[in-house]
Amino acid sequence: MATAKKKLVQWEPTDVKKELLKQYPPKVARRRAKQILINEALENNTPEIVANVRTIPGIITMRGCTYAGCKGVIMGPTRDIVNLVHGPIGCSFYAWLTRRNQTDAGIDGENYMTYCFSTDMQDSDIIFGGEKKLAAAIQEIYDLFHPKAITIFATCPVGLIGDDIHTVARNMKAKFGDCNVFAFSCEGYKGVSQSAGHHIANNQVFTHMVGENNEEKAGEYKINLLGEYNIGGDGFEIDRVLKKCGITTISTFSGNSTYDQFASAHMADLSCVMCHRSINYVADMMETKFGIPWIKVNFIGAKSTAKSLRKIAAYFGDQKLIDRVEAVIAEEMPAVEAVCSEVLPRTKGKTAMIFVGGSRAHHYQDLFAEMGMKTISAGYEFAHRDDYEGRDVIPFLKVDADSRNIEELEVEKDEARYRARKTPEEMQALEASGYKFKEYDGILPDMEKGSIVVDDLNQYEAEKLVELMKPDIFCAGIKEKFSIQKLGIPMKQLHSYDSGGPYAGFKGAVNFYQEIDRLVNSKVWSYMKAPWQESPELSATYVWE
C-alpha cells in the first residue's frame, strides 16, 4: 500500500525536548531550555516561559527586525499615507508589497500602497549625513502627491550615523502646514524582533494622529478594530460581517486604513483587539486618554467569530443589535457547517504545528479545532510572556536593557475629550454577568497538556520537531516553507496565506477548511524524494578522515 508515512507516532514530550536541545553547546542548551515548554496548563498553574529575549547569535531565527515591525506590519497597510524609508534601497525593496495586506482604494481612490518610497542612501550619504536628501525626498513627495501625511522610517544606518529624522519631519510639517509629517526611530537593530517595531509605530501613531479629527461620526455601535491587518483580505470579510450586523467600524489599525480613521479613532465607543501582541498598548492608551473600554476578540474560526460578535453586542446591550447579531450568525453558519461536516471525516484526528509571529499561532488553533484537528506544537517568533501565559503576568515582566530601549508613553486622561462610555454601575453589571474587559489568557491554557510550546523556534528545531512528531501539517512562513516540504510534510504559510485567504470570519473559515482538507489529504509531499535520498552515489570524505 502506498502509505509513505504510516504513522505510529509515539513521542514523549520530555524526549522531544531533550532531542531538540541535544546538539547545542551546554550554554546555548540552557538558554533554549527556558524557551521550550511542555504545556501543563490544565489546573490553575500556567507554566512560565522565557520570551522576548535576544536570539542567540549563530541560530537561524525566524524573526524579522524592528524596522519590519514598524514599516511593514503597522504602517504598511495604511493606504493614503506616504511611507518613506530613509535608508539603502534594499530595506525598501524587501518591504515592498510582500506582506499581502490588501487594500481597497475606496471612492477617493487615494492609495500609495503599490509605490515604493525610499531615499536610496548611498555611501556618500552615510559619510556626510542624509538629512538634506531626506528633506528633498519629503518635498518631492509633497509636490507630487499632496498626501494627508508623510511618515519616515529609520533603517539601521540612519541610527548609526545619527541623522535627526524627527527634526527634519517637524520642519517639513511646519513648512507645508497641510500635511502631517512625522518619523519613526525604528532602526532594525532597535529591539530583539519586530515586536519592538510595533511598539515604536503605535506610539507615534497615537501621538501624531489619534485625536486629530473631532468630528462626530455617523452610525451606530461604533468600534475600533485594533490589530487586524487585512492579510489576504481578512479585514474585508470582517468588515462585511460587522456591517451586516449594523456595527460601525470607526477605524481599523491598520488593515486598509486611512489617515482619517486614525485621526477619528477616539470617537469610537469600544476597542476590539484582534492581535493582542502588536497593539494591546494602543487599546490601553485609548482607554486611559479617551475612556474607550477594550475587549479581546478573535475572528479566526467561525465559532470564534460568532462569539466575538456576541461579545460586541453584549457590550452595547441593545436588544436590536443582539437580535441582529443572532440573525446574522444564524444566516451565516449553515454554509460554514455544511463544509465543515463535509471535510471532518477526512481531517478529524489530524495534527498541526503552528509557528507564526504572534497572535496567529494561537488564533488558528480554533480553526483547526473546528476541523477536529489538534495542535500538538506551537509557538511565537516574538510574542511576550503575556501572549503565552495571559495578561496577569504583565506586572511581573522583567524589564531588561532591550525592552528599556523602547519608549513607554505616559498617557493621561484628556480632560476635554475623555468620556466614560458606560457608568461605573453599567460596567460592574457587565462584569458581574461574566463579561471580561482587557482580558487575554494567552495560548497556554488553550493547548493540551503535553503539547510543546517553543518560543523563537529556529530552522534546526523546526526540522527536528517535524522529524520527531510528524504532524500532518506545519504552518509558518516562507523561510520555513521549502525545508518543511522537503521533509514530506505539507506546509501552509500563515503569514502570507501563500496565495490564499481570507481565512477570517465565516467565509474565511470555509476557505480554510477546504484548503487544509486538500493539504492534509494530499500525499504528494510524502512521495517526494530528493535525488540524493534515492540514489546516493556521490559520497565523499573529509580530508582529515
Contacting residues toward ligand CFM, per CB under 6 A: 69, 73, 99, 194, 227, 229, 231, 275, 277-278, 356-360, 495
- CB closer to ligand CFM, 191 vs 358: 358
Cα 395 from chain centre: 23
| Shortest separation between residue 359's beta carbon and ligand CFM, angstroms | 4
Distance CA 137, CA 82 (A): 11
| Shortest separation between residue 69's beta carbon and ligand CFM, angstroms | 6
User: What is the Cα gyration radius of the chain?
Assistant: 24
Of the chain, the end-to-end C-alpha distance in Å amounts to 41
| Shortest separation between residue 536's beta carbon and ligand CFM, angstroms | 37
| Shortest separation between residue 239's beta carbon and ligand CFM, angstroms | 16
Going through 236-349 in order, the beta strands assigned E by DSSP cover 248-254, 270-273, 294-296
Q: How many helices (H) and strands (E) does the chain have?
A: 23, 14
Contacts of 239 (CB under 8 A, 6+ apart): 249, 252
**Which residue's Cβ lies closest to ligand CFM?**
357
- Give the active site residue among 41, 51, 65, 154: 65
| Shortest separation between residue 38's beta carbon and ligand CFM, angstroms | 22
Q: Where are the alpha helices (DSSP H) in 348-455?
A: 360-370, 385-389, 401-404, 424-432
Q: Is 183 a catalytic residue?
A: no
| Shortest separation between residue 383's beta carbon and ligand CFM, angstroms | 7
Q: Is 99 a catalytic residue?
A: yes
* 251 burial via Cβ count (<10 Å: 0-12, 13-18, 19+): buried
Distance CA 399, CA 49 (A): 15
- CB closer to ligand CFM, 350 vs 495: 495
Distance CA 441, CA 84 (A): 37
| Shortest separation between residue 463's beta carbon and ligand CFM, angstroms | 20
- CB closer to ligand CFM, 363 vs 470: 363
* Type and span of the H or E element at 81: strand 81-86
- CB closer to ligand CFM, 69 vs 159: 69
- CB closer to ligand CFM, 231 vs 265: 231
Q: Which of 436, 440, 227, 420 is nearest to 315 (CA)?
A: 436
Sign of the CA dihedral with 314 first, then 316, 322, and 326 last: negative
Phi and psi angles of residue 405, each rounded to the nearest 5 degrees, phi first: -65, -25
| Shortest separation between residue 495's beta carbon and ligand CFM, angstroms | 3
DSSP labels, 176-220: HSSSEEEEE---TTSSSSHHHHHHHHHHHHHHHTTTS--PPPPSS
- CB closer to ligand CFM, 148 vs 199: 199
- Give the active site residue among 99, 100, 208, 363: 99
- Whether the CB-CB separation of 469 and 376 falls below 8 Å is answered with yes
Q: Report the SS3 class of residue 228.
A: strand
- CB closer to ligand CFM, 88 vs 227: 227
- CB closer to ligand CFM, 35 vs 280: 280
Q: Is 245 a catalytic residue?
A: no
* Type and span of the H or E element at 516: helix 505-520
Query: Cell triple for residue 518?
Result: 486538500
Q: Is 68 a catalytic residue?
A: yes
Phi and psi angles of residue 317, each rounded to the nearest 5 degrees, phi first: 70, 10
- Give the active site residue among 32, 79, 198, 362: 198
Contacts of 246 (CB under 8 A, 6+ apart): 220, 221, 320, 321, 324
- Give the active site residue among 41, 51, 68, 275: 68
- CB closer to ligand CFM, 73 vs 137: 73
| Shortest separation between residue 301's beta carbon and ligand CFM, angstroms | 14
Contacts of 190 (CB under 8 A, 6+ apart): 66, 67, 159, 196, 197, 200, 405, 406
- Indicate which residues carry an active-site annotation: 65, 68, 99, 198
